[in-house]
Amino acid sequence: MKIFIGFTIEWSDEDREVVIAHVLENFSKVFQQNVVVYDCKQVFQDVFPDCEGWDGYVDHVSVGRDFYSRKPNFDILILPQRQLGRVTAQISQKFLEQKKPVLFLERIPTWTYQTVTEVVTLDDENWKQGWSITCS
């Protein structure tokens, strides 16, 4: 199982590591299978140059498949914040359209997961925080 975490750029490396460790531990226990957690920052650095732009990157993450195995590049999307930038909003929307799980991870006061049901545009001119999520 491959999990993509859609951090905003403001997240520190230390905070990212805490979230990644939590997600890895919890999903490994629940699903009892090989779980790999990917930080969006690292994925971006690794694949963006080959994606021919932002649309290609969004597709790679949300609907892309491994060339040989034909398995999805990512199975689950986790969002550790409610406000999203343009690219993360697009990735989230495509995950939802594909009926792939999108989860909001709230850390305070305790670690809880909520199912994301919708991506809402607040200000499409604000590419850093112009979208929000609705959870059930």
pLDDT for 135 equals: 97
User: Considering the chain, what is the average pLDDT of its residues?
Assistant: 95
Q: What is the pTM of this model?
A: 0.95
Integer Cα distance of 122 and 83 in angstroms:
9
pLDDT band at 110 (very low <50, low <70, confident <90, very high): confident
| Residue 22 reports pLDDT greater than 90 | yes
Contact by Cβ (8 Å): 77, 6 = yes
Backbone φ/ψ region at 20: left (φ over 0), alpha (ψ -120 to 50), beta: alpha
Assign a CATH topology to domain 2-135.
Rossmann fold (3.40.50)
